[in-house]
Structure 1
Amino acid sequence: MTDQLSEVFELVEVRGLVSGGFAAQGPWVSRATLRETFKFIAMVSGRARLTTDGIDAPIELRPGDVAILNNRSRLELSGGPDDGSDDGSGGPVREVEPIETGLELLEADWDSNDIVLGGRIDLNEAGRTLLGEALPPVAHVQASPSTGANLRGSLHRLFAEVTGNRIGSAFAIRQHAQLVLLEVLRTYVEQAELPPGWLRVLTDERLRPALTLMHSQPDTLWGLNELAHAAAMSRTAFAERFRAVAGMPPRAYLNRWRMMLAQRALRNGDVSVGSLASELGYASESAFSTAFKREVGESPLRYRFNARAQALSS
């Protein structure tokens, strides 16, 4: 079975990166101004309340929960009794600053501490657009008993690498952060009512056969009749369902998929624009260049130059 979600993950170059964490006993609060487009907060142990712009009430985070913040400007986490000032014994609310090294978290008491890991999700420009469309301002993924076992396990393995200081830990942390991100999105798909967009269409079983055709043979200008037949649906029913699930008609989706393939080829290879146009089913180089500039905002050659310059500077 074609795994289209994995295909898209590779094309948008998604990476989960851990930036820090802390362990605290309440009452405590941690505040930050956000500069990342996508920030994630993982509740390894304990509980916390998350507040950010764009939500009406604090979100309760429990052990194993993860929240992804989508283009938010500020973040506040608080723990301990929700009495607004102290823990009932006169203690003040303590300001907590995340730390970058995991060694200081090694001695954290899982029974009494609230343990938090934070990080960011890095994607290329196409990926930022796709994920931004797929997620609400805050995507709260709950590690429920029925769906969260894998997520909790992934978080515990990530925490072990962050605190272990073992040889190769930097590489291992990146790999475990990737797996955490994958489990977060898997669990989110199971728990949430997804808005129309790429994440919802990639997980729609009825449309999967049609998507397989478009993904595997992007050089073919697939018509509604062929796609509807592959999905075992009438032409009208298929067109209506595809638009409702993907947020766009099949032809627009195919064009976006072609442009994502084109961007990867231009970033990573030396293929000529003419050859790329032919590989993706365009009648001419000029037709491809026009479509690319309309979708991406710059010509293929300019995109290649800028992408490689950015890679060298990062």
Structure 2
Amino acid sequence: MQDPLSAVLNLMEAKAAFAGGLSASGPWSVRFAAPDRIKFFALSKGECLFAVEGIETPFHLKAGDVVVYAARRAFTLATDLALPPEESSTLFRGRTNIVEIGGGGEFMLFGCHIDLRPSGFELLADRLPPVIHMRHDDGGTQRLQWMIAEMVRETGAAAPGMDTACSGLAQLMFLHVLREFLPKAGALDLGWLRAICDPRLAPAITLMHAEPQRNWHLPELASAAAMSRTAFADHFKAVSGMAPLAYLTRWRMRLAEKSLRDSNPSIATLSRQLGYTSEAAFSTAFKRVIGMSPRQYRIGKRKLETAP
């Protein structure tokens, strides 16, 4: 059985990809257009300011820091934000791997992005804060420093398979940031994201993920988590913002969404596969969670596929 975080990332088909790097020296400023996917970058050398539209105070990034950027807003990286920025689209046009400014050497940043299923933004990106800044001296970041050092070695050697190796390192970095950040996110409204990284809830969530069609009862799930029924229900609600069986319903509907996208099951078959005794009950639950009926969802998907 997969652990809860792996199951969710696999459902969204979240894949990290190495995008390239920026090496700079002297004063510089680069503006990036609003991204359409999660971006993250790691600094291996030097420092810079990171300014995001709509956030008043810029972030001060130093060597060893890692940033996950989930906002769909333009941002600027610079030594001095008063400098007129160069547009990233111009700077990186027609270039691959490492781009240099001013000869490079004083500053080094690696950029990556996360590809997601269309529903992934709602499931993941829209639940994350605009910026997750993991500082080099934060507790639990030692492994990140090793990954950054490996990325430096890979790009420096430019050996065959470098892009694949760097993308693999990027995937590990992203996973590690989620592991470190989500359980410590405090009062942020992360909903189910925090639940899947909660070690006390993990055994129960793993069971629901493994057998979503089963008619789970609260005492069974509480027993798996080694908690009383009341303590389990209270803790689940406090961590995720929803009841355990409401979480199960949402998980079922995300699986249904994926099936309707990737294959062509009948609504009756899908209902049975997910534990519903009637097509009507399944359709009602799907509409409540997804916002439209299964048939409407399937029609919309086909229109997108046939659109020019």
Report the TM-score when normalising by structure 1: 0.82
Distance 2:84 2:126 in 1: 37
Q: Would you say 1:135 and 2:135 are equivalent positions?
A: no
The match for 1:252 is: 246
1:287 CA drift (Å) = 2.1
Distance 1:311 1:176 in 2: 33
Alpha carbons of structure 1 residues 262 and 197: separation in structure 2 relative to 1, 3 Å: same
Alpha carbons of structure 1 residues 170 and 273: separation in structure 2 relative to 1, 3 Å: farther
Alpha carbons of structure 1 residues 142 and 187: separation in structure 2 relative to 1, 3 Å: farther
Q: Would you say the 8 A contact 1:102–1:163 is kept in 2?
A: no
- Paired residue for 2:96, among 87, 97, 101? 101
Q: Would you say the 8 A contact 1:55–1:137 is kept in 2?
A: no
SS at match of 1:55: coil
Alpha carbons of structure 1 residues 164 and 290: separation in structure 2 relative to 1, 3 Å: farther
Q: Would you say 1:210 and 2:204 are equivalent positions?
A: yes
1:293 CA drift (Å) = 2.8
The match for 2:220 is: 226
Structure 1 runs of 4+ aligned residues shifted over 6 Å read 311-314
Distance 1:307 1:159 in 2: 41
Letter in 2 for 1:124: R
1:281 CA drift (Å) = 0.6
1:30 CA drift (Å) = 1.5
Q: Would you say 1:289 and 2:301 are equivalent positions?
A: no
Alpha carbons of structure 1 residues 36 and 299: separation in structure 2 relative to 1, 3 Å: same
The match for 1:38 is: 38
Distance 1:289 1:130 in 2: 20
Give matches, 1:162-173, under 5 Å.
Answer: 162=155, 164-173=157-166
Give matches, 1:183-202, under 5 Å.
Answer: 183-189=176-182, 192-193=185-186, 195=188, 196-202=190-196
Identity across the alignment (%)? 40
Letter in 1 for 2:97: G
RMSD: 3.1
5+ unaligned residues in a row in structure 1: which ranges? 86-91
Alpha carbons of structure 1 residues 28 and 209: separation in structure 2 relative to 1, 3 Å: same
Alpha carbons of structure 1 residues 119 and 304: separation in structure 2 relative to 1, 3 Å: farther
Q: CA-to-partner distance for each residue in 1:232-279, whole Å, 9 max, x for gaps?
A: 333332222111101111122111111122222233334332222111
Q: Would you say the 8 A contact 2:183–2:194 is kept in 1?
A: no
SS at match of 1:193: coil
Q: Which moved more, 1:257-266 or 1:172-181?
A: 172-181
The match for 1:148 is: 141
SS at match of 1:125: coil
Q: Would you say the 8 A contact 2:41–2:109 is kept in 1?
A: yes
1:165 CA drift (Å) = 4.6
Letter in 2 for 1:237: A
Distance 1:291 1:174 in 2: 38
Q: Would you say 1:61 and 2:61 are equivalent positions?
A: yes
Q: Would you say the 8 A contact 2:42–2:64 is kept in 1?
A: yes
Q: CA-to-partner distance for each residue in 1:69-113, whole Å, 9 max, x for gaps?
A: 22241211122xx6x76xxxxxx88847453412556xx86xx51
Distance 1:148 1:4 in 2: 22
Distance 1:312 1:154 in 2: 42
The match for 1:116 is: 109
The match for 2:174 is: 181
